[in-house]
Amino acid sequence: MRAFADDLASEYARRGSGLEIRSIGDGYAMQVRANLASEVVSLAPSELEAPLIRTLAIIAYKQPIRQCDLVEIRGNKSYDHVKELEKRGMINAARQGRTKVLTTTRAFADYFGLASCRPEAVRRAILKDKKLIGVTPMYQSLAQRLGLDFIVVNPYKPEPEDLKRLKEIELLVLAPGYADRVKENYSGELLEASVRTLSQLKESAEWICQAAGSGDVEPLAAEVDFLLQRYRARAAVASPIKPLTPMIEDIARDLRITVQEDGLTVAPDSAGMEAGIQVPVHQPYDMDILERIVQRYEKILNGSV
């Protein structure tokens, strides 16, 4: 049977036909040649249901992606999607601890008429004219909130995979003060995003969307404005504070809370200072970036009542 399929594939190749027979997984498929796929894809019937397509698109764009991270984005239904996509040969699912790492396959590239199955080539095909953004782990939730096309990278102490990703991206969002260190391995556009306060978060989000030429800042901006109104109302009746570091000074200005020399002392919990209020700073990177700031504001306001 395999010999017959190989002979038939050779015959189609000799003809120069618009169709070809290719070995995919454990079987064979007859398909439109890759260089013609873009011309006929709009005429082809959809074989993958829309929910599967959406899950597959996330895997293709964010690969390699852990199944547990995919579930956070797509919900528990993605477990069934992964099984189905793996069964169809569209993805590989390699076991890693308690989860799996998902990547697309050669069959995926063939199905969508892509010349290469390399992850960076797949991402480029998905992005087309959009700018690919790199974000450090701390800014991942912000990029998700803004609906940006992004990959997560560690430019501070890059591993080989990080160095590879730094070559793919056109814009890197990172914390202020690290530009010189990052420039040792990255020569593209940099955007240092200050997110100490709610106002800084809103401003940085606007700059990121502007630099990326994509994303939607309005939902986040509306949420920030609502929180600021609520917190400033609470701060108006709170006891005065005395900020002990520039970071706390920034937060105090944003809250518009009364600052005076004999006020309740406030410092970051990482500063090693004695203070009446210790503000959390080293929160987990997987915490939502807005929640990180909210925790700090709540700590100050609850402690100064």
What number of CA atoms fall less than 13 Å from residue 129's CA on the CB side? 1
Handedness of CA 91, 94, 97, 101 (dihedral sign): negative
More confident residue, 11 or 285: 285
Q: For residue 163, what pLDDT is reported? A: 93
144 and 201 together in one domain: yes
Q: What is the pLDDT of residues 189-242, one digit of tens each?
A: 999 999 999 999 999 999 999 888 888 899 999 999 999 999 999 999 999 999
Give domain status of residue 222, yes or no.
no
147 and 210 together in one domain: yes
Give domain status of residue 276, yes or no.
yes
The residue whose two tokens read 């990080």 is 162
40 and 57 together in one domain: no
Of 32-36, 87-91, 245-249, the one with minimum mean pLDDT is 32-36
What are the residues whose beta carbons fall under 8 Å from the beta carbon of 305, sequence distance 6 or more?
A: 238, 239
pLDDT category of residue 40 using cuts at 50, 70 and 90: very low
Q: Is the pTM of this model over 0.85?
A: no
Q: Which of these three, 100, 128, 156, is where a domain ends?
A: 128
CATH of residue 171's domain is 3.40.50.1980
Q: For residue 21, what pLDDT is reported? A: 66
Distance CA 263, CA 276 (A): 10
Domain carrying residue 255: 228-303
Peptide bond into 64 cis (omega under 30): yes
Give domain status of residue 183, yes or no.
yes
208 and 177 together in one domain: yes
80 and 99 together in one domain: yes
111 and 150 together in one domain: no
155 and 180 together in one domain: yes
More confident residue, 226 or 118: 226
92 and 75 together in one domain: yes
Of 120, 121, 180, 130, nearest to 155 by C-alpha is: 180
Q: Which of these three, 174, 193, 216, is where a domain ends?
A: 216
Distance CA 108, CA 124 (A): 15
* Per-residue three-class SS string for the chain: CHHHHHHHHHHHHHHCCCEEEEEECCEEEEEECHHHHHHHHHHCCCCCCHHHHHHHHHHHHHCCEEHHHHHHHHCCHHHHHHHHHHHCCCEEEEEECCEEEEEECHHHHHHCCCCCCCHHHHHHHHHCCCCCEEECHHHHHHHHHHCCCEEECCCCCCCHHHHHHHCCCCEEEECCCCHHHHCCCCCCEEEECCCCCHHHHHHHHHHHHHHHCCCCCHHHHHHHHHHHHHHHHHHCCCCCEEECCHHHHHHHHHHCCCECCCCEEEEECCCCCCCCEEECCCCCCCCCHHHHHHHHHHHHHHHCC
18 and 31 together in one domain: yes
More confident residue, 10 or 297: 297
Q: What is the pLDDT of residues 98-111, one digit of tens each?
A: 889 999 998 888 88
160 and 193 together in one domain: yes
Domain count within the chain: 4
For 172-193, what is the mean pLDDT?
92
CATH of residue 2's domain is 1.10.10.10
Give domain status of residue 117, yes or no.
yes
16 and 76 together in one domain: no
Phi, psi dihedral angles at 296 (to 5 degrees): -70, -45
Q: Which of these three, 191, 216, 241, is where a domain ends?
A: 216
Give domain status of residue 223, yes or no.
no
102 and 138 together in one domain: no
Give domain status of residue 221, yes or no.
no
Of 21-35, 130-144, 167-181, the one with minimum mean pLDDT is 21-35
Give domain status of residue 92, yes or no.
yes
Q: For residue 1, what pLDDT is reported? A: 59
Give domain status of residue 236, yes or no.
yes
